[in-house]
Structure 1
Amino acid sequence: MSLTCDYFLAPPSPFVYMGHARFIDLARRYDVQIQLKPIDLGRIFSGSGGLPLAKRPPQRQAYRLIELARWSKFLGLPLNLQPKFFPVAGDPAARLIVATQLAHGTEKALELVAAVSKALWVEERNIADEATLQSVAEHLSLDGKALLAASSGASVQAAYDANTDEAASAGVFGAPWFVFDGQPYWGQDRLDFLERAFAEARNAQR
């Protein structure tokens, strides 16, 4: 029996950036199919009591920077703690990822998630800018112009809205968020627990 894991994400999240490659590696190692679901984190926050970064108390903002630096060093991942284009609207990139998923499948969309995250957190690029998104897509040998056009279409918006509605129904309140075997896992720092769950599920099938 195939195993699947829901992967709810918001493209601007630094924690998506830090956990993305590791999650994909885990899914491949345990032969778990990824159900990619980009979401509108602003809508999720409004329904769950979450606050965008600029509205959080100073002590929470300060600790966030400490955690980002700590994890960046621990994982050996480059990261600009305060990139030039952040905070940034996540909708344009999320819709582009959805459009790519619909047109080319989940694997290519996952590649685009990685490239968009890197553009923001390493390369100091504006992922809400159409020219930037087109360039990022074309670097992956995708037709960026066509995908951008598709990303403004009704089918993409409907899929994006459905992902966000599903996230709200599942109790999601942050990103990245994983749901496996009915259990939620919030954040890249919960991937060890998710791996244990993958291993247990795989062992149970043997």
Structure 2
Amino acid sequence: MTLQAQLYFSFRSPYSYLAIGRYRALTEMFDVDIELKPVYPLAIRQPDFFERNHPNWLGYTFRDMIRVAQFHSIPFAPPKPDPIVQDMTTRKIAEDQPHVFRLTRLGQAAAREGKGLVFADEVSRLIWGGTAGWNEGDHLKIAAEKAGLDWGALLEKISAEPDELDVEIAANQDALEASGHWGVPTLVFDGEPFFGQDRIEMVLWRMNEKGMTER
């Protein structure tokens, strides 16, 4: 029997990026279906989050994400542009956000088609893998096509139904918090939340307990 799980994910989260490719590989190796549940990043949900954190938080996070990428041999570079427009000196989040709403709605539209995990992985590789100007030209179109999606249909969906998609994204956030956590990446399997890119081995252990089989 195919095991089912949900992955709560943000396009702005470097740790979501560092996890999603490995979760995608898990679904390709084992009889597991992971449903993507995109959420808006903390910068949108809690705009003062970065300003409230300890001054060392940002520097340590950058150091840690780089070494995690090196440890797992995952291509990694600061995004150009950042999905969130933010003054990194003051940590203040700009009111105008031209990228993150579009990205998250695209992710939710892809999830509707059952291709959210693959789409988010392909797009995250652009954002965090060193592609400058990932938001320009055909980059996102090519990522969508690699995920088996019709780019034109996706654009039409986010244009015609932004409010409906936002309701679904808000429901994802509510479901994440109901699962027992609030951050990303969090994978929920059999009602149990596993937060962080460093919990994948534990997820595998739990899934093996539940009878996971190879494809």
TM bucket normalised to smaller: 0.7 to 0.9
Q: Measure how far apart 1:134 and its partner are.
A: 4.1
1:79-106 per-residue CA deviation (whole Å, 9 max, x = no partner) reads 11x333225253211211221232xx32
5+ unaligned residues in a row in structure 1: which ranges? none
The aligned counterpart of 1:125 is 133
State the percentage of identical aligned residues: 28
- In 2: Cα distance, 1:130 partner to 1:176 partner: 28
The aligned counterpart of 1:98 is 108
The aligned counterpart of 1:25 is 25
Could you tell me which amino acid in structure 1 is paired with residue 204 of structure 2? E
Contact 1:45-1:173 within 8 A present in 2 as well: no
Change in 2 beyond 3 A, CA 1:52/1:119: farther
1:63-92 per-residue CA deviation (whole Å, 9 max, x = no partner) reads 111111211110111111x33322525321
- In 2: Cα distance, 1:140 partner to 1:34 partner: 15
The aligned counterpart of 2:189 is 180
Change in 2 beyond 3 A, CA 1:63/1:72: same
- In 1: Cα distance, 2:124 partner to 2:144 partner: 12
1:61 aligns with 2:58: yes
When structure 1 is superposed on structure 2, of 1-10 and 28-37 the one drifting more is 28-37
The aligned counterpart of 1:71 is 68
- In 1: Cα distance, 2:153 partner to 2:28 partner: 30
User: What RMSD over aligned residues (CA atoms) do the two structures have, in Å?
Assistant: 2.9
- In 1: Cα distance, 2:145 partner to 2:119 partner: 10
Contact 2:11-2:124 within 8 A present in 1 as well: yes
TM-score by length of structure 2 reads: 0.77
- In 1: Cα distance, 2:172 partner to 2:185 partner: 13
Q: What stretches of structure 1 move > 6 A for 4+ residues in a row?
A: none
Change in 2 beyond 3 A, CA 1:6/1:143: closer
- In 1: Cα distance, 2:14 partner to 2:38 partner: 15
Contact 2:24-2:118 within 8 A present in 1 as well: no
The aligned counterpart of 2:4 is 4
Query: Which of the residues 168, 174, 186 maps onto 1:159?
Result: 168
Q: Measure how far apart 1:34 and its partner are.
A: 1.3
Change in 2 beyond 3 A, CA 1:172/1:124: farther
Contact 1:134-1:148 within 8 A present in 2 as well: no
TM-score by length of structure 1 reads: 0.80
- In 2: Cα distance, 1:94 partner to 1:71 partner: 24
Task: Write 1 or 2 for the structure with the bigger share of helix.
Answer: 1
Query: Which of the residues 111, 124, 139 maps onto 2:118?
Result: 111
Change in 2 beyond 3 A, CA 1:119/1:7: same
- In 1: Cα distance, 2:105 partner to 2:111 partner: 10
- In 2: Cα distance, 1:175 partner to 1:112 partner: 17
